[in-house]
């Protein structure tokens, strides 16, 4: 299995006409709608930064932000820096106030990811790349923002940073924090992982037949 989260697509079901169907199961108990289901690969990585992923609201895993978050500048930077990674969904500035978890009782400015509307394009929606672009844009727009939370994450050794644990390694954090690292650098690294995973799937029959029905 690759060390990175990936934007690979499930194999279409035989009767799907080549289009991915809605997921029939919710991947996490806090995911309430199919938008959160579609974006779960990205939103897992948003659990550990100093950004709220909407836990404690009615739209968990659909929004991401923080108090006084510079959403307009970050969204503009994302669309300039990585326009193709912002495609396939609708990105909308929003406000939300969690009633538990991060920033309890505090108004947050943030971004809402919409993936349940007529123009949603599953083949062009790449949530892991999208959240990578958001992190990189935050670092560019507000370099002093304390993006990475440092705490003892679940059962892992205390010296490991939570973002490294949930991402499968330090590569995402190192890429975000390196001002010399480009979108092309990250695309190349992710493509290598995705190609390796595709090759591994071809060698395992039950992975070839995996579908999201």
The pLDDT assigned to 48 comes to: 72
Residue 78 has pLDDT above 90, yes or no: yes
Domain boundary assignment for the chain:
34-144+155-207
Q: What's the per-residue H, E or C state across 128-146?
A: HHHHHHHHHHHHHHCCCCC
Phi, psi angles (nearest 5°) of residue 155: -95, 5
Phi, psi angles (nearest 5°) of residue 58: -85, 0
Q: Does pTM surpass 0.85?
A: no
**What is the band of 43 on the pLDDT scale with cuts at 50, 70, 90?**
low
The pLDDT assigned to 108 comes to: 97
Residue 92 has pLDDT above 70, yes or no: yes
CATH 3.30.70.980 is right for the domain spanning 34-144+155-207: no
* CA atoms in the 13 A half-sphere facing the CB of 25: 5
Report for 15-19, 72-76, 87-91: range of highest mean pLDDT: 72-76
In what order do the strands lie in the sheet containing 108-114? 63-66, 108-114, 90-96
Strand pairing partners for 93?
111
pLDDT higher at 27 or 102: 102
Residue 22 has pLDDT above 80, yes or no: no
Euclidean distance between CA atoms 52 and 46, whole angstroms: 8
The pLDDT assigned to 204 comes to: 82
């Amino acid at each position: 299995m690759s060390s990175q989260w990936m934007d690979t697509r499930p194999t279409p079901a035989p009767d799907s006409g080549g289009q991915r169907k809605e997921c029939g199961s919710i991947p996490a108990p806090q995911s309430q709608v199919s938008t959160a289901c579609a974006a779960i690969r990205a939103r897992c990585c948003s659990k550990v930064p100093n950004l709220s992923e909407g836990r404690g609201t009615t739209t968990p895993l659909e929004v991401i932000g923080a108090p006084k978050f510079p959403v307009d500048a970050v969204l503009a930077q994302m669309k300039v820096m990585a326009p193709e990674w912002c495609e396939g969904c609708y990105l909308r500035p929003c406000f939300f106030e969690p009633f538990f978890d991060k920033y309890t009782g505090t108004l947050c400015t943030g971004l809402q990811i919409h993936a349940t509307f007529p123009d949603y394009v599953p083949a062009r929606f790449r949530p892991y790349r999208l959240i990578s672009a958001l992190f990189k844009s935050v670092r560019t727009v507000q370099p002093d923002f304390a993006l990475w939370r440092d705490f003892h994450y679940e059962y892992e050794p205390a010296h490991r940073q939570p973002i490294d644990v949930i991402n499968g390694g330090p590569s995402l954090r190192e890429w975000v924090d390196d001002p010399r690292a480009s979108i092309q650098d990250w695309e190349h690294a992710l493509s290598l992982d995705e190609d390796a995973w595709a090759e591994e799937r071809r060698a395992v029959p039950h992975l070839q037949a995996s579908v999201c029905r």
